[in-house]
Amino acid sequence: MFKKSILASVVTAFCLTSGAASAGPEAEVLHWWTSGGEAKSVAVLMEEFAANGGAWTDMPVAGGGGDAAMTALRARVLSGNAPTAVQLKGPAIQEWYEEGVLANINSVGVAQNWDELLPAAIADHMKCEGEYCAAPVNVHRVDWIWANAEVLANAGIEMPTSWAEFNAAAEKLQGMGITPLAHGGQAWQDATVFEAVALGIGGADFFRKAFIDLDEATLTSDTMVAVFDQMRIMRGFVDENFSGRDWNLATAMVINGEAGFQIMGDWAKGEFVAADKVPGKDFLCTSTPGGGFLYNVDSFAMFDVKGDNKVAGQNLLAELIMGQNFQKVFNLNKGSIPARLDVALDEFDYCARQSSYDMDVASGNGSLLPSYAHGMALRGAQAGAITDTVTAHFNSDMSSQDAVAALAKAVANSM
């Protein structure tokens, strides 16, 4: 720890400023953490901010995996009234920086040695032209399968280790009158399942070429046809009322035993925990078949705002976000693992410890990959082109061959 933290110096500066005795760090925070586990997680940051003299104005925007929040953000920026801090991630941070609306928090990052505390790949996501403009709160794994332990036990089903095993388990559940796959018919949820299937069937090199390099030969390959074939099978495992369902309501189906499985990032674990369910007893977790690790990093980017109190609020937020206590408590609630490398995982459950171990392995063998579906691998236009095709296929009788052709065309048109 530092002899005099940035946090302390910020608060002291305000107390010593003439006429500012009643002022202090301020932050209006735009985010889309509105479900049970997520709301509990963001409350941790709100409480720490208030405990350190800050005034927090909450701006939660539900829906669309952040799409609705981004619509609200653009309206605020265009009106010249940007929030102080915004939940952003991946290339979206760079896109907003290029529009000239982000603030620089490099002084906080340097003082706290973020380069030493963060994995290099994650630190790079947080930087704008080599200087910090955002602070990471966690690392989410996207390619998880969650299951109701009692449902699987009653059916005599083990957690699947291949897509053939998954399909067989799902068919057995379906025959018992149980929804095999809890899913919400929203584009980002379709994309979440799709990229997990793609990694599992094609492997890390295939995923990298397809969804990072946007290689046309890979996008039109027989392997991609096989990915869409599996997606057609998956479509048969969801219930007829899936359209428009929020992800946390799909998780609730697994919690309540209405469904056997859900394919969703580890934020789903926060819902199980919030419902007082115990990992390994009430619910099970395993990576989707095929290996690799798809990551999604939640972070807050700071926007260019006027007023010393708001700038102080940004610095205070940045320091708290990367603090060891927040990284631990937040991620215990959220279901993810800390972005900081030096946070002990003793209090974390076996799913989180497995995630941390798998991330280390994947980092070493080249299969640690940014999620395209969750805004880490591609910019919005390219990611949207892929997802539009995936959703069109999932909600129609489009053939896999036609989907592959549409995919390649959509990506080419988005460039």
Answer whether residue 66 shows pLDDT above 90.
no
- Do 79 and 29 have their domain in common? yes
Domain carrying residue 36: 6-140+297-349
Residue 250 corresponds to which tokens in the numbers above?
A: 């799909």
Answer whether residue 243 shows pLDDT above 50.
yes
Number of domains in the chain: 2
- Do 315 and 225 have their domain in common? no
Tens digit of each residue's pLDDT (9 = 90 or more) over 85-132: 999 988 999 999 999 999 999 999 999 999 999 988 889 999 999 999
In a domain, 1, yes or no: no
Residue 64: per-residue pLDDT: 60
- Do 274 and 301 have their domain in common? no
- What is the average pLDDT score of the chain? 91
Angle at 14 between CA 112 and CA 19, to 5 degrees: 170
Distance CA 251, CA 184 (A): 9
- Do 284 and 392 have their domain in common? yes
- Give the dihedral sign, CA 221/225/227/228: positive
**What average pLDDT score do residues 241-264 get?**
97
Q: For residue 315, give the H/E element and its range.
A: helix 308-321
Residue 310 corresponds to which tokens in the numbers above?
A: 């708001």
Residue 363: per-residue pLDDT: 81
What is the number of other CB atoms lying within 10 angstroms of the CB of residue 25? Answer: 26
Residue 3: per-residue pLDDT: 36
Q: pLDDT band at 9, cuts 50/70/90?
A: very low
Q: pLDDT band at 17, cuts 50/70/90?
A: very low
226 Cβ partners below 8 Å, 6+ apart? 201, 202, 400
Biggest distance spanned by C-alpha atoms of the chain:
73
In a domain, 178, yes or no: yes
- What would you report as the CA-atom Rg of the chain, rounded to the nearest whole angstrom? 22
In a domain, 315, yes or no: yes
- Do 121 and 189 have their domain in common? no
- Do 356 and 269 have their domain in common? yes
Q: In this structure, are residues 303 and 83 in contact, taking their beta carbons and an 8 Å threshold?
A: yes
Residue 32 corresponds to which tokens in the numbers above?
A: 């889309």
Q: Under DSSP, is residue 108 helix (H, G, I), strand (E, B) or coil?
A: helix
177 Cβ partners below 8 Å, 6+ apart? none
- Do 48 and 63 have their domain in common? yes
In a domain, 324, yes or no: yes
- Give the dihedral sign, CA 223/288/163/242: negative
Residue 16 corresponds to which tokens in the numbers above?
A: 């010593």
- Do 60 and 117 have their domain in common? yes
> Closest Cα partner for 84 from 297, 322, 298, 301?
301
Tens digit of each residue's pLDDT (9 = 90 or more) over 131-140: 999 999 999 9
Distance CA 120, CA 133 (A): 15
- Do 161 and 262 have their domain in common? yes
Residue 13: per-residue pLDDT: 40
What is the number of other CB atoms lying within 10 angstroms of the CB of residue 344? Answer: 9
- The CATH number of residue 13's host domain is 3.40.190.10
Tens digit of each residue's pLDDT (9 = 90 or more) over 339-384: 998 999 999 999 999 999 998 888 888 898 999 999 899 988 999 9
